[in-house]
Structure 1
């Protein structure tokens, strides 16, 4: 099954530096994911995981995981979440 065909892909390595597992859903603004996850948040701004809708990735403590991110679509407005964006991503 092809997902997000034609969208630009950003590849990052994520390390869970916390002491318990962290799960991130398919359409969550990845830059605002749990602060226990260590990755390039600037590169992740405006992006989500490149996985099937309704699924998630689980990050176990101390294990680096390679992920692919794709741009958020639609109006590209992030409604609060952790309070870091709370509005339009562009402009």
Structure 2
């Protein structure tokens, strides 16, 4: 064995085996690329990404830890999401949850720069 060498079993490794999965269509309506990391609360992503945010509440990308998906301007693509596990408490990101996911979401708030996700670019 070489120091630091990985010795893996033959075959495929299935990530998040047996977990619920949902698929959403996501469009980048912005003028810049947007990259979303593996463990980012998908419902709280950049407002220029247009998709069913209510359905994405409590979910993250179904990709390997430490990786990301990039959305180019004008691009529409399907993504697969899996639910957060553990205590299901979400803190940080855009500050839209800040606690347990079991609590109903607060009404949507409008930022000072408008809300492109809801069709208001003002």
With the length of structure 1 as denominator, give the TM-score of the two structures.
0.96
Q: 1:90 & 1:55 partners in 2: Cα distance? A: 27
Structure 1's unaligned 5+ residue stretches are: none
Counterpart-to-counterpart distance in 2, 1:76 and 1:11: 20
1:3 to 15, 28, 32: 15
- Measured after TM superposition, the shift of residue 80 of structure 1 is 2.4
Match in the other structure for 1:41: 53
How do 1:4-23 residues align onto structure 2 when only pairs under 5 Å count?
4-23=16-35
Q: How many residues align?
A: 91
Q: Which residues of structure 2 form unaligned runs of 5+?
A: 1-12, 104-122
Runs of 4+ in 1 over 3 A off after TM superposition: none
Corresponding residue for residue 76 of structure 1: 88
Decide which of 93, 98, 117 is 1:86's aligned counterpart.
Answer: 98
More strand by share: 1
Worse-matched range after superposition: 25-34 or 75-84: 75-84
> Which structure: larger Rg?
2
Aligned to 1:56: 68
1:29 equivalenced with 2:41 (yes/no): yes
SS in 2 for 1:31: helix
Q: 1 or 2 for the larger relative contact order (CA 8 Å, sep ≥6)? A: 1
Across the aligned residues of Structure 1 and Structure 2, the Cα RMSD in angstroms comes to 0.9
